[in-house]
Chains A and B, each alone.
Chain A
Amino acid sequence: MLDQLRDLFPGWLARPDHYHTWYEQMLCLIPLLPLLGFLINAFARKTISRGASGAVATLAAAMAFGVALLCYMACAIDSQVATVGKYAGMVQEHLQSRPFQPMHAFYGTWLDVGGFRANFGLYMDELSGLMTLVVTGVGTLIHLYSTGYMGHDKSYARYFAYLNLFLFAMLLLVLGDNLILTFVGWEGVGLCSYLLIGFWYTDGDKAAAGMKAFLFNRVGDLGFLLGIFTLIAVFGTVDYVAPPEAAQASSAVMRVPAPPAPKGMLDYAANIKRIDPNGNLTLGQVDASQKLDLSGTVGKAVFPSWSFKLAIGLACLLLFVGAMGKSAQLPLYAWLPDAMAGPTPVSALIHAATMVTAGVYMVARLHALFLFSPHVMMFVAFVGTATAIFAALIGLTQTDIKKVLAYSTVSQLGYMFLAAGAGAFSLAIFHVVTHAFFKALLFLGAGSVIHGMSDEQDMRKMGGLRKHMPVTFVTMLIGSLALAGFPFTAGWFSKDTILAVVLAKSHDDPSFGSWWMALYGLGLIAAFCTAFYTFRLVGMTFFGACRADEKTKAHIHESPAVMTIPLITLAAFALLAGWMWHAFFSAPHFLGMPTPLDNFNMNPPEIGVEATEAQEHWHHVHLVNLGWTSLAALGGIALALVVYVAKGFVPKGEGGNVFTTLSRNKFYLEAFYDKIVSNAFILFAELMHVADVLLIDTLLVRGVAVATRWTGAALRSLQSGLVNFYAGGVLVGALVILYLLLLS
């Protein structure tokens, strides 16, 4: 029976000897359950009841989370069982080196063209597994919250259809085992983002915001696509890791001659450990190309070795352009603040917790390639820092509660790219995870406030809400503390360690040392601004006297339980998620990625063992950084509390000094886009229109017609109608044939 099944579905039951094969086959349920929810809600949109619509969508997300949790645990438990069985006595060592057994499920070949192959395959390792858990977990909570928040909306089923479709695309992005599949998910989340930003499409501004998001993402996606093409030229494959044996078996069954790629892209870089043979690690001094075995790649035969490295760097740069668009980095950030036109739960899920972190995820996924090109890494760090400080400065003067959080998201994404650029990929992901919790919490809290305030978003018309909405107040306070980096909250663990790594690099990176110091300084200022604008938001919303009109004031209420339960759950995570720092720092290769902390094991040295010099150094750096960041966070909080709580300052939204004007007008960058870039494009389009009329319409289209007519006029004199003339043609033809036959 099993054998017959295996013949029918080559990918099915491919590794019956393996402990978690069944879980591996269950991987496909994770994206398919939300897809099913989407189909139900999309096709039964007219008939389905409101309760059923929300229940189907929420259940689909919750079940996807359940399956993801099962698979993740199977990966972890399996490896431990295998370890105990195979390496009794060496358990500790083995668990530390690889505490996770990745799953790679293969469901068939998608494209098989001229030696190039793309599969339908899902891959769950530490990185994608963690992202899957975050996406489905936060996604479930936000679905639940949405059933309450969207309760009065008439397009209820359409909303949940989009939300489920988004989950499907995002999970495909995260779990796809090759870049093409990731790109499908990448475009899918972009589409859902567009649909949900313009959800209330009868409002012209909101529909325009959706289009703006789509257009900005197109710019980035072009870079992403070109990056994929470059990687195909270099490696001849888009697989992250080699496809399982099942893929090769299926090729034989289908009689497809294309040989499966023996290695995935990351396999070529598998031996980069950033640790030299002596066990010492020096930040930023790795010449990755020397440790790289590139034999067997397609590009090896084509590119000379020096350009090979350049090609990988170029691919990374192009892929990062894609990440800039999706993750709203300078200069492609401008769509994200406008994306707040969508429903608030959407802002929480898509534009704070998950989709916008796709760029960070992609960079972490391909970290082995980015390690080849230190200059691209440096560029990533620069862009990240610039975005972090730029958005934080704009956030200082925003009065729309969601805009503050939007700029905060842009700023925090900048931190993530700073971490990635510094080589601390696992820290970037750590910040993605903690940020997902506290930023989703803040957005949902803001949604709760907006819901209670009868859709008012201007903080100048709020105030004193802590008495009316105690649950929202407490949970948002927790989220704000985490965002501000208050000690022992989730944001403190992730953000401060990122800055500590940057400070450590300023000592250890010989080529860019002083640059890192500059980035550290800017990062500190951004941290200060973060703390300030966060507590400005808290102060203006929850403290002081209520500034709303009488009608709104009478209607203020705490949100229903379906909205507060997600708030409380997320608040718990925002408080406690930071404590999993141990997993991110101590294991040498958590998430399967080398980290700069590899050698700076933060565990206290065992008794009787002296700390190494590197450990001493790391502790020193970390303590110095701790002082500075605490100063920035507490200073920012204190200043905001003084200005907005003690003094009750309410910004007027106009006037002020040069700095506030600049900040309020977003440093005129968007005005620059509107005036210069748009007009340049329109000018270019006009030019192209003229070219179209002259070149295409006149020369090519009409030209072909005229040339045909002239040729016809010239040739038609041959058709005299005189039969003797035609007979002469026959004779001449016969003579020519005879001549050729006899003389050849």
Chain B
Amino acid sequence: MNAWLTLLETPADGGQLAGLVGFKLASCIALSCAIFAIGAWGVLARRNILLMLISIELMLNAVMLAFVSFARMRAGVAAEYTAAAAKALAEGAPAEAIAGLQAKSAIWTTSGASGQIFGLFIIAVAAAEAAVGLAIVISYYRHRATVDTRDMTTMKF
């Protein structure tokens, strides 16, 4: 759990680069968790199927927020390494040191990009889910004239 908290409060590299990231990762993740919790509570407590769908959307978006937050953090770290590499080149540092900094920059860029791609995926999946879910709900409403889950219990024994 400690490792998890550390990640929330400070970026990677033990906080060495924390000041350079430029935004507060911890607040973004806290917001994500709050939205997720609200969504989960909605799914459990709401009896209106439409509201449950909306809650699911909330949870999806909370997860997406977490993804892009971490991606942003990684992009910041990558920018710092790129700047450090440029500075080292200007100062005439050994080639190995410059190459190491460039490699780290590349790694952080790539891993940061995957978070953003996941964000896009989630938008697509959420849209599809909303379309199918709403279609089912509308169809159901036409047959039964209700959107209350308490009336949708025909599958019990």
Residues of A within 8 A of B (CB): 716, 719-724, 727-728, 731, 742-743
Q: Is residue B83 contacting chain A, with contact meaning CB distance below 8 A?
A: no
B44/A723 in contact, CB under 8 A: no
A728/B152 in contact, CB under 8 A: no
Q: Give B133-157 as 1s and 0s: 1 = Cβ < 8 Å from A's Cβ atoms.
A: 0000000000000000110111111
Which chain A residue has the least Cβ–Cβ distance from B150?
Answer: A722
A721/B156 in contact, CB under 8 A: yes
- Name the B residues within 8 Å of A742 (CB-CB): 1, 4
> Which B11-69 residues have a C-beta within 8 angstroms of A?
40, 43-47, 49, 52
CA gap between A97 and B71 in the complex, in Å: 98
- Name the A residues within 8 Å of B153 (CB-CB): 720-722
Which chain A residue has the least Cβ–Cβ distance from B46?
Answer: A724
Q: Please count the residue pairs between chain A and chain B whose beta carbons lie under 8 angstroms apart in the complex.
A: 35
CA gap between A724 and B52 in the complex, in Å: 9
B1/A721 in contact, CB under 8 A: no
Q: Give B91-123 as 1s and 0s: 1 = Cβ < 8 Å from A's Cβ atoms.
A: 000000000000000000000000000000000
CA gap between A723 and B153 in the complex, in Å: 8
Q: Which 3 pairs between the two chains have the least Cβ-Cβ distance? A: A721-B156, A721-B153, A716-B157
B156/A720 in contact, CB under 8 A: yes
A721/B43 in contact, CB under 8 A: no
CA gap between A731 and B47 in the complex, in Å: 17
- Name the A residues within 8 Å of B40 (CB-CB): 731
- Name the B residues within 8 Å of A716 (CB-CB): 157
* Interface pairs (26), CB distance under 8 Å: A716-B157, A719-B155, A719-B157, A720-B153, A721-B152, A721-B153, A721-B154, A721-B155, A721-B156, A722-B149, A723-B52, A723-B149, A723-B152, A724-B44, A724-B45, A724-B46, A724-B47, A724-B52, A724-B149, A727-B43, A727-B52, A728-B44, A731-B43, A731-B44, A742-B1, A742-B4
CA gap between A728 and B55 in the complex, in Å: 14
Instruction: Name the distance in Å between A206's Cβ and chain B's nearest Cβ.
Output: 64
Q: Which of B4, B149, B150, B156 contacts A719 (CB 8 A)?
A: B156
Residues of B within 8 A of A (CB): 1, 4, 40, 43-47, 49, 52, 149-150, 152-157
- Name the A residues within 8 Å of B44 (CB-CB): 724, 727-728, 731
Known: A722-B150, A727-B44, A731-B43. 6 other contacts (CB 8 A): A719-B156, A720-B156, A721-B156, A724-B44, A724-B46, A727-B52
- Name the B residues within 8 Å of A724 (CB-CB): 43-47, 52, 149
Which chain B residue has the least Cβ–Cβ distance from A731?
Answer: B40
- Name the B residues within 8 Å of A723 (CB-CB): 49, 52, 149, 152
CA gap between A215 and B40 in the complex, in Å: 75
Instruction: Name the distance in Å between A735's Cβ and chain B's nearest Cβ.
Output: 10
- Name the A residues within 8 Å of B156 (CB-CB): 719-721
CA gap between A722 and B45 in the complex, in Å: 11
CA gap between A720 and B156 in the complex, in Å: 6
Instruction: Name the distance in Å between B155's Cβ and chain A's nearest Cβ.
Output: 5
CA gap between A724 and B154 in the complex, in Å: 14
CA gap between A720 and B155 in the complex, in Å: 8
- Name the B residues within 8 Å of A719 (CB-CB): 155-157
Instruction: Name the distance in Å between B10's Cβ and chain A's nearest Cβ.
Output: 19
- Name the A residues within 8 Å of B47 (CB-CB): 724
CA gap between A727 and B43 in the complex, in Å: 7
- Name the B residues within 8 Å of A720 (CB-CB): 153, 156
- Name the A residues within 8 Å of B149 (CB-CB): 722-724
- Name the A residues within 8 Å of B45 (CB-CB): 724
CA gap between A131 and B58 in the complex, in Å: 94
CA gap between A742 and B1 in the complex, in Å: 7
- Name the A residues within 8 Å of B154 (CB-CB): 721
User: Taking each of B4, B150, B154, which has the highest tally of chain A beta carbons within 10 Å of its own beta carbon?
Assistant: B150
- Name the A residues within 8 Å of B43 (CB-CB): 724, 727, 731
- Name the A residues within 8 Å of B46 (CB-CB): 724
CA gap between A723 and B136 in the complex, in Å: 15
CA gap between A721 and B150 in the complex, in Å: 8
Instruction: Name the distance in Å between B29's Cβ and chain A's nearest Cβ.
Output: 15
CA gap between A722 and B47 in the complex, in Å: 9
- Name the A residues within 8 Å of B150 (CB-CB): 722
Instruction: Name the distance in Å between B52's Cβ and chain A's nearest Cβ.
Output: 7
CA gap between A738 and B70 in the complex, in Å: 19
CA gap between A742 and B4 in the complex, in Å: 9
- Name the A residues within 8 Å of B52 (CB-CB): 723-724, 727
Instruction: Name the distance in Å between B30's Cβ and chain A's nearest Cβ.
Output: 18
CA gap between A724 and B152 in the complex, in Å: 11
CA gap between A724 and B47 in the complex, in Å: 8
- Name the A residues within 8 Å of B4 (CB-CB): 742
CA gap between A743 and B52 in the complex, in Å: 31
Instruction: Name the distance in Å between B98's Cβ and chain A's nearest Cβ.
Output: 38
CA gap between A731 and B56 in the complex, in Å: 12
Instruction: Name the distance in Å between A132's Cβ and chain B's nearest Cβ.
Output: 74
Which chain A residue has the least Cβ–Cβ distance from B4?
Answer: A742
- Name the B residues within 8 Å of A721 (CB-CB): 152-156
Instruction: Name the distance in Å between B141's Cβ and chain A's nearest Cβ.
Output: 15
- Name the A residues within 8 Å of B155 (CB-CB): 719, 721
User: Taking each of B49, B52, B152, B156, which has the highest tally of chain A beta carbons within 10 Å of its own beta carbon?
Assistant: B156
CA gap between A722 and B149 in the complex, in Å: 6
Instruction: Name the distance in Å between B83's Cβ and chain A's nearest Cβ.
Output: 34
- Name the B residues within 8 Å of A743 (CB-CB): 1
CA gap between A719 and B149 in the complex, in Å: 14
Instruction: Name the distance in Å between A691's Cβ and chain B's nearest Cβ.
Output: 38
Instruction: Name the distance in Å between B8's Cβ and chain A's nearest Cβ.
Output: 13
Instruction: Name the distance in Å between B36's Cβ and chain A's nearest Cβ.
Output: 11
Instruction: Name the distance in Å between A398's Cβ and chain B's nearest Cβ.
Output: 77
CA gap between A723 and B49 in the complex, in Å: 9
CA gap between A103 and B125 in the complex, in Å: 83
- Name the A residues within 8 Å of B152 (CB-CB): 721, 723
Instruction: Name the distance in Å between B19's Cβ and chain A's nearest Cβ.
Output: 28
- Name the A residues within 8 Å of B49 (CB-CB): 723
CA gap between A743 and B1 in the complex, in Å: 7
CA gap between A724 and B150 in the complex, in Å: 9
Which chain A residue has the least Cβ–Cβ distance from B55?
Answer: A727
- Name the A residues within 8 Å of B157 (CB-CB): 716, 719
- Name the B residues within 8 Å of A731 (CB-CB): 40, 43-44
CA gap between A728 and B46 in the complex, in Å: 12
